[in-house]
Every structure is written in C-alpha cells, then in structure tokens.
Amino acid sequence: MADEVRIAAETRTEFGKGAARRTRRAGKVPGVLYGHGTDPVHLAFDTVEFAAALRENGRNALLTITGLGGQPQLALTKSIARDPIKGFFEHIDLVLVRRGEKVQVDVRVVIVGEAASGTLVFQNEDTLTVEADATNIPEEISVVIEDAEIGTQFLAGDIRLPDGAELVSDPELLVVNVTEAPTEEAMEEEIDTEGAGVEEDASEDEAAETGESSEAASGDESAEGSGESAESSDES
C-alpha cells in the first residue's frame, strides 16, 4: 500500500506563465487542486519537499495537504509536467479524494524470478490501471515468472493483483512474453550476414566510383586526342 504523506502548501494569487516562472524561481512548484465539484485551488509546494515525497513514497502516494486553511485535504497526484530538457517540475495537478473512495490509478509492473534456461523475457507493459481504495493503493504489481517456459505469456487478466485492487486495463493485454533466446551461432550468423551486406554495398559503391573515374579518364584522353588532331591540322 502506498504511504500517506503529510506535506505543506500555500495558496497562490498570481496566475499565468509569468507567475509560474516566479514561483519556480522562488524554489516552489506551482500546482492546482480540484475535484468533488469544488472550485480549483491554486497552490505551491516546496520543490525539494515535493520531490522527496514522490521519490520516497511513489507517484501514487496519498498526500495530506496542510496550510490551506481549515482541515487538511487528501489528494492524489493526477499529472506532473516536467521541463523536457532540464527535468524540473513545471506544474502539478492534484485531485481531491475521500477515505473509502475508489480511484483509478496506474500501478507499475515488476517482474519477479527467473524464467527457464534458454529463454528471453520481454516486458510489454510497464504499468496496469487498477481501481482501489484511495487509502489502499498498491505500490506495485508483481508478475512471477519463475521457471516459465518458452511460449509462456502473462496477460493482464491472469496476473494476481494486490488485495483490494480490481483490474481496469484490458484483461487480454499482453504484459510479459517469454520467448526463445537466440543461440550464439544464430547471433554470429546474423552478424556475418549484416557484415556481408555492408561489404557488398561498399564494393558496389567502389565499383561505381571506379566506373565514373574510368569514364572521366576516357573523356580526358578523348579530349587530349582531339586537341592533338586539331594541332596536326593546323600544322598541315
């Protein structure tokens, strides 16, 4: 179950891109809190504190937000916008929840165990969407592949979910696929084939270049021959 994290926030009275930049320069991350038909609340968190909360408790941590006046508010992180280059928080959307309320969240998938010898394991899905109590959100979903043979497939509907969680994702979604690992000989043959193709292409390019050079040389010789003939005519 994801931990409940207590975190302080302050309300914002300035909005827009310029105001958001000033908030970030002050060491805070701007956000908005909404849900249950209430008016959106524009707020700001200490950037270091918020980052630590996510790092230590996961994306689905239940946040108890204080400092907004009145009773603390329970919320989940709905979405996080990050700078695509530097990675810092640009904006956070949070949604209000109540104890006992069912919510839909994406939970990360973790592979446990080792498949049988001679296999290659592909994880097709990193998360699955489940419905769970807001105060009992699982941190991860384990897929046990111990001794799984070639051809074994783990579909979303076949995976055992943590207690209290119900699957929302398509039950037929392929999550983990166990295939035959390529042999060393097959890999060497593939490398040799790729290398031969490169050499062949290179040879063709070289031949083309040689042909062009020969044509150019022939052209030069012809031009020289014509020049000599012209000179002979003049002498005559």
At residue 165, the pLDDT reads: 94
In this structure, what DSSP letter does residue 156 have?
Answer: G
Q: 90-116 in b/e burial notation, b at 16+ Cβ within 10 A?
A: bebbbbbbeeeeebebebebeeeeebe
At residue 226, the pLDDT reads: 46
- By C-alpha distance, which of 204, 200, 155, 212 is closest to 178? 155
Helix (H), strand (E) at residue 194: helix 184-235
Specify the number of domains making up the chain.
Answer: 3
Q: Answer yes or no: do 176 and 126 share one domain.
A: yes
At residue 147, the pLDDT reads: 95
Domain boundary among 50, 81, 97: 97
Residue 127 sits in a domain whose CATH number is 2.170.120.20
Q: Answer yes or no: do 12 and 82 share one domain.
A: yes
Report how far residue 67's alpha carbon sits from residue 33's, in angstroms, rounded to the nearest whole number. Answer: 13
Q: Where are the beta strands (DSSP E) in the chain?
A: 4-8, 10-11, 28-35, 38-46, 62-66, 73-82, 89-96, 102-112, 119-123, 127-133, 140-144, 153-155, 166-167, 174-180
What separation, in Å, do the N-terminal and C-terminal C-alpha atoms of the chain show? 107
Range of the domain at 234: 183-236
Report how far residue 23's alpha carbon sits from residue 19's, in angstroms, rounded to the nearest whole number. Answer: 6
Q: Which phi-psi region, left, alpha or beta, contains residue 32 (left: φ > 0; alpha: ψ -120 to 50)?
A: beta
**Amino acid identity for residue 74 in this structure:** L
Q: Answer yes or no: do 117 and 72 share one domain.
A: no
The pLDDT tens digits along the chain (236 residues) read 556 789 999 998 887 888 888 889 999 999 999 988 888 999 999 999 999 988 888 888 899 999 888 789 999 998 888 888 888 888 999 999 998 899 999 999 999 999 999 999 999 999 999 999 988 898 899 999 999 999 999 999 999 999 999 999 999 999 999 999 887 776 677 676 666 555 445 455 554 555 555 554 445 544 444 444 444 444 43
- By C-alpha distance, which of 116, 177, 111, 175 is closest to 144? 111
Give the angle 199-203-205 at the CA atoms, nearest 5°.
Answer: 115
CA 181 centroid distance within chain? 25
At residue 229, the pLDDT reads: 43
Domain boundary among 97, 128, 162: 97
At residue 235, the pLDDT reads: 42
At residue 154, the pLDDT reads: 97
Q: Answer yes or no: do 66 and 114 share one domain.
A: no
Confirm if 131 and 168 have CB atoms less than 8 A apart: yes
At residue 232, the pLDDT reads: 41
At residue 228, the pLDDT reads: 45
